[in-house]
Chains A and B, each alone.
Chain A
């Protein structure tokens, strides 16, 4: 089955705008006044760059490459395009908004949280993802979700970008009814 475009740039930006509103309310309810934000390479950084701007977050955006923390390293080897993780603020006692594009198994977020703790002990972590989909293998749930598209087990969704942003679905939609 070929790649199908699921959502285009402008619609994705609108979605992120909505996520920013919900995130703002969520942080207010939790009395978090001065959060910092971290995006996960690569798609998570694209979403985080826009959220960071919309929420007018003061500390510069952190970027995380979780290649050194993956639990499948001994199976698939080193990511050939690993980028440096950069967190340009003190993590210790900081409230953090962690942003990724798609959450599926939850393993990426597990790895990201482990890496964040190696920079310091954060006060809290709020998880924001553009897409939530089925297939969780760890007890990790996002606090804020952009969209939850109905996908079959054999379908994959990817964020392409950064300009324009496109959500693309590949794989077989055959058993979508069961998902």
Chain B
């Protein structure tokens, strides 16, 4: 089964959200439009809507991530669903249970949706292939492969600040090689039809086939930032230094850290984004992270609206299929 067939029903409506791959422009825009309505909710007296009342959503996290799990949990609760959190690394798999056994066990608790994070690429796809009909799977990050809701919240942020995607020039800076976020972002930006996607990184942090993703590659930060509308910084993980891909955090900052002076190479109204958590003084200075061009905290708020959109669209369509 192709990824398109797995993620959408016969009418092209969302069933699972596993990867940006395979979606059409209008499908991604529909997710953004739906999120737009959810983004209005915090201004009201009652911040939640009754859309998923009576549904059970399970956060299945095989890899720790308090932040992502919390935004998914909040999104589910704002949709009036009930939420169960499973942190598997400390429970079943350490006792030798297989992924499928874990899934079957939780399915027996009548969960309608699984939000899956796993360190192995393809874990969410595997679960989607084996899940019972009517159960939806959302990928909350799998290995180095994809993190589609993070990419969509970034698209939402870009649209909120810049409007139309087509004239935009966007730079992604940092460890593209190990970043599931970068992969999903590049795919989404190209589907949405931006004018140029640039990646800026040392050779050791770029995948060998990076050009096939539809990007222009820069190894010099200042050159790459010239005239861009959006700068997306990636988190540098410390284990990269242990693997000898980089000499030191200090040297990385010297070459690829975003400072106020370097940001001046971008357009004057350029926005600065980061999926968090930020390493101050490694990828980015505090001056830029807390500065007027930074939209890092807005990204967090928009992440809730995007997750509400994806969850409600997938669950609405899957229960329609059951004809209940």
- Contact partner of B319 (CB less than 8 A), chosen from A74, A83, A120, is A74
Closest to B44 in A: A119
Residues from chain A with Cβ under 8 Å of B317 in the complex: 77-78
Q: A75-B320, A75-B324 are in contact. Are A68 and B49 (CB under 8 A)?
A: yes
B238 at the interface (CB under 8 A from A): no
Residues from chain A with Cβ under 8 Å of B286 in the complex: none
Closest to B39 in A: A84
Whether A92 pairs with B13 at a CB distance below 8 angstroms is no
B287 at the interface (CB under 8 A from A): no
- Contact partner of B316 (CB less than 8 A), chosen from A69, A77, A81, A117, is A77
Interface size on A, residues (CB 8 A): 25
Distance in Å from the Cβ of A14 to the closest Cβ of chain B? 34
Q: A68-B51, A82-B33 are in contact. Are A92 and B313 (CB under 8 A)?
A: no
Report the separation of the CA atoms of residues A119 and B42 in the bound assembly, to the nearest whole angstrom: 11
A139 at the interface (CB under 8 A from B): no
Closest to A72 in B: B320
A177 at the interface (CB under 8 A from B): no
Report the separation of the CA atoms of residues A68 and B123 in the bound assembly, to the nearest whole angstrom: 31
- Contact partner of A67 (CB less than 8 A), chosen from B37, B40, B320, B324, is B37
Report the separation of the CA atoms of residues A20 and B33 in the bound assembly, to the nearest whole angstrom: 34
Q: A82-B33, A82-B34, A83-B37 are in contact. Are A73 and B49 (CB under 8 A)?
A: no
**Which of A5-42 touch B at CB < 8 Å?**
none
Whether B49 pairs with A84 at a CB distance below 8 angstroms is no
A-B contact count (CB 8 A): 61
Whether A86 pairs with B40 at a CB distance below 8 angstroms is yes
A104 at the interface (CB under 8 A from B): no
Residues from chain B with Cβ under 8 Å of A115 in the complex: 49
Whether B50 pairs with A92 at a CB distance below 8 angstroms is no
**Which of B271-319 touch A at CB < 8 Å?**
312-313, 316-317, 319
Whether A74 pairs with B49 at a CB distance below 8 angstroms is no
Distance in Å from the Cβ of A107 to the closest Cβ of chain B? 14
Report the separation of the CA atoms of residues A75 and B319 in the bound assembly, to the nearest whole angstrom: 7
Closest to B313 in A: A78
Q: A67-B37, A68-B50 are in contact. Are A74 and B45 (CB under 8 A)?
A: no
Q: A77-B313, A77-B316, A77-B317 are in contact. Are A68 and B45 (CB under 8 A)?
A: no
A93 at the interface (CB under 8 A from B): no
A114 at the interface (CB under 8 A from B): yes
Whether A77 pairs with B320 at a CB distance below 8 angstroms is yes
- Contact partner of A74 (CB less than 8 A), chosen from B30, B313, B320, is B320
Residues from chain B with Cβ under 8 Å of A117 in the complex: 46
Report the separation of the CA atoms of residues A132 and B316 in the bound assembly, to the nearest whole angstrom: 30
Report the separation of the CA atoms of residues A68 and B35 in the bound assembly, to the nearest whole angstrom: 12
Closest to A90 in B: B45
Whether A84 pairs with B44 at a CB distance below 8 angstroms is no
Closest to B45 in A: A120
Q: Mark B206-219, 1 if CB is under 8 A from A, else 0.
A: 00000000000000
A1 at the interface (CB under 8 A from B): no
A126 at the interface (CB under 8 A from B): no
Q: A68-B50, A69-B49 are in contact. Are A74 and B324 (CB under 8 A)?
A: yes
Whether B37 pairs with A118 at a CB distance below 8 angstroms is no
Whether A74 pairs with B44 at a CB distance below 8 angstroms is no
Report the separation of the CA atoms of residues A84 and B323 in the bound assembly, to the nearest whole angstrom: 28
Distance in Å from the Cβ of A92 to the closest Cβ of chain B? 7
Given contacts A74-B324, A75-B320, A82-B34, 17 further A-B contacts (CB under 8 A): A65-B37, A68-B37, A68-B51, A68-B312, A69-B49, A73-B316, A74-B319, A74-B320, A75-B319, A76-B320, A77-B316, A77-B320, A84-B37, A84-B39, A86-B40, A91-B45, A114-B50
**What are 10 of the A-B contact pairs (CB < 8 Å)?**
A67-B37, A74-B319, A76-B320, A77-B313, A82-B34, A84-B37, A114-B50, A118-B46, A119-B44, A119-B45
